[in-house]
């Protein structure tokens, strides 16, 4: 991002905005295994076709997905495979962060139990 003009940073922010909504992430995850119709995505996500279409339009504008009309159906597929590398990187980072937090909580709980036992042994 270093040296990018403000207009370019706006595009970067819009790209990340596309990834900031859980439903859109769910759609991208489903498209990872291949193209799907709006109806298929709606059924698999548990939302209405209208809702999924709105999210797909946003993802299309950001260049993350492509659409193809076939008869009365519209099919979507990933246009930018690099989104998965980015998401995998972020998910790995979050998993490590949560692991460290869980380890910290376990250490704290262990210390608290040891302190309680020590207090209980005192006359």
User: How far apart (Å, rounded) are the C-alpha atoms in residues 74 and 37?
Assistant: 6
Structure confidence by residue, pLDDT tens digits, 12-51: 999 999 999 999 999 999 999 999 999 999 999 999 999 9
For the chain, domain boundaries: 1-80, 81-123
Q: Please classify residue 31 by burial: count the beta carbons closer than 10 Å to its beta carbon, then call 0-12 exposed, 13-18 middle and 19+ buried.
A: buried
CB neighbour list of residue 48: distance below 8 Å, 6 or more residues apart: 42
Name the β-bridge partners of 77: 66
Cα dihedral across residues 53, 56, 58, 63: positive or negative: negative
Tell me which of 108 and 18 has the higher pLDDT. 18
Structure confidence by residue, pLDDT tens digits, 63-91: 999 999 999 889 999 999 999 999 899 98
Cα dihedral across residues 12, 36, 43, 53: positive or negative: positive
Region label for 76, one of left (φ > 0), alpha (ψ between -120 and 50) or beta (otherwise): beta
State whether residue 20 is helix, strand or coil: coil
Q: Is residue 104 pLDDT above 90, yes or no?
A: no
CA separation (Å) from 113 to 51, 99, 103? 49, 21, 15
CATH of domain 1-80: 1.10.10.10
Query: Whole-prediction pTM value?
Result: 0.77
């Amino acid at each position: 991002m270093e040296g990018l003009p403000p207009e370019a940073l706006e595009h970067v922010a819009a790209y990340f905005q596309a990834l900031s909504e859980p439903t859109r992430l769910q759609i991208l995850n489903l498209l990872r295994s291949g193209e799907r119709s709006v109806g298929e995505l709606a059924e698999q996500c548990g939302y209405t076709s209208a809702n999924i279409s709105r999210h797909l339009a946003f993802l299309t504008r950001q260049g993350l997905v492509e659409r193809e009309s076939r008869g009365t159906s519209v099919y979507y597929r990933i246009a930018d495979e690099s989104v998965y590398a980015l998401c995998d990187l972020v998910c790995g980072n979050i998993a490590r962060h949560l692991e460290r937090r869980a380890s910290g909580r376990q250490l704290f709980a262990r210390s608290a139990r040891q302190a309680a036992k020590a207090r209980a042994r005192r006359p």
